[in-house]
Amino acid sequence: MAVEMKKVFTIALRLLALASTVVAIVVMVRSHDSAEVFNLTFTAKYSNTPAFKYFVIAEAVGGAYTVIVIFLYSKSILGRLIIILDTVITVLLSSSISAALAIAQVGKKGNSHAGWLPVCGQVPRFCDQATISLIAGFVAAVVYFVLLLCSLHAVLTPIFAAKP
């Protein structure tokens, strides 16, 4: 009974991670806004920034991995491999969010030392959509961290519970 509850909890977490990655991807890919400065129109979109592209790709990899693991989870003879891959996905999602947040911070606040002006005042819709996407990505990374802890617990418990 307890084993079934753990499986249900883990699958629910994986579905939450999948939903978060899908929301992050869809919102980021659809984010765009335009601004007119001195009769020149500038368009802000995620594909203009390598960090946002990396974020979308990392979220897509995380989502695809989640789908694969959900389908293979019932045949979970791959416990140790899942721990390794959960670790890789957790690190991948964390690094992509870090890169995207750095760019988002520059977009919002600018950088006076480099002479970069903030752009969120000119393209607020783009910045709002990027923020929503980053929040969803952060939720996915946190869920994957919890999944990693659950996977570690599931594999290490029998090792430490065994009596010598």
75 pLDDT exceeds 80?
no
Is residue 163 a part of any domain in this protein?
Answer: no
Is residue 151 a part of any domain in this protein?
Answer: yes
163 pLDDT exceeds 70?
no
Is residue 16 a part of any domain in this protein?
Answer: yes
Domain count, the chain: 1
> Which structure tokens are listed for 13?
């977490």
pLDDT number for residue 152? 80
Name the residue with higher pLDDT: 121 or 88.
Answer: 88
Is residue 152 a part of any domain in this protein?
Answer: yes
Residue showing tokens 């570690």: 152
Question: Domain containing 123: what range?
Answer: 1-158
Among residues 1, 140, 81, which one has the least CA distance to residue 73? 81
Is residue 17 a part of any domain in this protein?
Answer: yes
23-64 pLDDT tens trace? 999 999 888 777 677 777 777 788 888 999 999 999 999 999
Is residue 136 a part of any domain in this protein?
Answer: yes
Pinpoint the alpha helices (H) of 30-162. Answer: 50-72, 79-109, 124-161
Rounded Cα distance, 88 and 32, in Å: 30
